Amino acid sequence: MMNAETMESLYAHIEECRILHDFEGIFHYASQLYDISREQKDKHYQIIACYFLGNVSYNRGVYHEAMLYLQEGICIGEEEPYPFFQMVSYNLAGMVSATVGDEIMSVEYMLKSYYIALEHQELGYFYIILNNLGVLFLDLGYYEIAKEYFKKAIAERSIKCFDDLKINDGYNIINLLGTSVFLQDEEEYAYWLPWYWEYHKRFKEITVDNDFQLYQVLRAGYKSNIDVFRDEVTRLLDIVDRESDRLHTFKNLLKVFKICMQYKDKVLTSQVLEKLNLILQEYPEYQKHSELKECQVLYATIFGKEEERLTALQEYYEVRQMELASAHNNMKNTLLLKIDMERLLYERSQILEKNKELERRSEIEEFTNVMNKTAFRYHVTEELEIMHQDQYVCLLVIDIDKFKNINDTFGHLIGDQVLLNVVAVLKGMLRSSDFAGRIGGDEFCVFMKNILSLSYLHEWLDELLKRLVNTTVKDQKVLSASIGVCMSDHTCRYDEIFQRADEAMYRAKHAGGNRYEIIEI
């Protein structure tokens, strides 16, 4: 009990730190939760710990470590149903994969997260997954596709007016502003700009505001307005240090650096480069330092001396080689983890298949291999509940004529064979949507839906009687049946339709057998 309370308390501390964006606190408490949950074999808290440890590792730029934790959590989620943390783990794994340049795996993870969110919309996370998919395509440069996902996310939130805005909506709005900038769609930009300002009045989300300033820089750059561009870059440099997600800031400044280089503005370029350098000093384990080294090569090429350019090139080459070696090693480890996950998924599918088979066997009568009475009633009830008002369904009660005489004359073994012969005749005539069951010793039931016409039903029943009569027993034609049919074109109860079909069967039997009677309700 104490361990359960301890794990619950650690989770509460993690949530408090999450709200405060305290990554060190999250990692501290999540590490403790991870150790205790593994010791206690508590899968619920273990997947929670894995997700938050992966999240902090991602924000620190230690992507291989992040993926190890996330893969462990994903495997737990595949073994046992924890849809929320399985969903967010897949989502974050997609973000990690995108960051390290594995777009294929990123899309795969994101789509798995998407389908979990779609299946469990009660979690209220679907619009966030849609937005994250949009970010993935935005980073890949597919701006039209990204815009579609961002708009779907907004639609999912059912935002009708400014008062409907919540804090997370800022990310959708700023992303839509961003796609309009990249697509240079001034009409779209003009539409979303008031939404941003209204959001800005209500919430102070630094990441959203920093991205907004980034897009002011890019707009000025695309319009070749040098003076405005310089002013906007200066404003951006003044505010970027407020951002807690420093790697996000780093990626934004990379875009700014490239435009500064296009204008060959040495002062602004050096200021941006200095910021980039300071940020990466905080992330020694960041696995894409070559991005900074590439910027240093470009800077030295335009503004430096030949010796500086060669030194920058050498440093870029060395760092890039280390990254390629690390990426290759990470790819192997990720592949091994994926193999383990696929094995777990396969084992799970086998267990589910066995469970389905056991369930099927519990519904099937062993001797005749058709549904037993309970299963037949259950499935017919299901069909009656969902039937359309404009379609006919019918239930048949089939009783073998003079079955006791067959047993007395030919013996019970032959009687058993007669039952199997009746089942074979029925199976030979049933459509894929029909099903049969045995409800008594020599009584069977058939349920049929989508009856096209009364004439079709008459033809079907005539053919059934004909095939039964033509079935020989000891080279003798002694088999026939009395069939009661109840038809309905509206929702009704199982007891009602069965009772009327049973009454019709007795009328057919009292009329001499080898015939059918149809009742409509």
Count H helices and E strands in the chain, helices first. Answer: 21, 5
Q: What are the structure tokens assigned to 327, written together?
A: 């990426």
pLDDT at 515 over 80: yes
Over residues 51-77, the pLDDT tens digits come to 999 999 988 888 889 999 999 999 888
Over residues 367-424, the pLDDT tens digits come to 888 999 989 999 999 888 888 767 789 999 999 999 999 888 889 888 999 999 999 9
The end-to-end CA distance of the chain, in Å, is 60
What's the confidence (pLDDT) of residue 376? 93
Please state, rounded to an integer, the average pLDDT across all residues of the chain.
88
Q: Which residues pair with 397 in a beta bridge?
A: 445, 484
Q: How far apart are the C-alpha atoms of 229 and 215, rounded to whole Å?
A: 11
Helices (H), 364-453: 373-386, 403-410, 412-429
Residues 315-320, mean pLDDT to the nearest whole number: 91
Which of the two residues, 335 and 39, has the higher pLDDT score?
39
What's the confidence (pLDDT) of residue 34? 96
Q: What are the structure tokens assigned to 517, written together?
A: 């009677």
Q: How far apart are the C-alpha atoms of 53 and 74, rounded to whole Å?
A: 13
What's the confidence (pLDDT) of residue 380? 93
| All domains in the chain, ordered by first residue | 1-123 (1.25.40.10), 373-520 (3.30.70.270)
- Write the CA distances from 130 to 82, 116, 181, 277, integer angstroms: 20, 12, 20, 33
pLDDT at 427 over 70: yes
| Confidence category of residue 244, pLDDT binned at 50, 70, 90 | confident
Q: Pick from 338, 336, 351, 348: which is nearest to 78 by CA? A: 348
- Write the CA distances from 237 to 140, 234, 247, integer angstroms: 25, 5, 15
Over residues 429-467, the pLDDT tens digits come to 998 889 999 998 899 999 999 887 888 999 999 999 999
Helical pair 306-363 and 373-386, crossing angle rounded to 10 deg: 120
Over residues 338-369, the pLDDT tens digits come to 666 566 666 656 655 665 655 565 788 888 88
Exposure pattern of 248-259 as b/e (b: 16+ CB <10 Å)? bbbbbbeebbeb
Which of the two residues, 103 and 116, has the higher pLDDT score?
116
Q: What is the pTM of this model?
A: 0.59
Q: How far apart are the C-alpha atoms of 139 and 149, rounded to whole Å?
A: 13
pLDDT at 95 over 90: no
What's the confidence (pLDDT) of residue 358? 52
What's the confidence (pLDDT) of residue 500? 95
Over residues 458-498, the pLDDT tens digits come to 999 999 999 999 888 777 887 899 999 999 988 889 999 99
What's the confidence (pLDDT) of residue 340? 66
DSSP 158: T
Helical pair 290-303 and 306-363, crossing angle rounded to 10 deg: 150
pLDDT at 183 over 90: yes
Over residues 192-238, the pLDDT tens digits come to 999 999 999 999 889 999 999 999 999 999 888 899 999 999 999 99
Percent share of the chain, pLDDT over 90: 56
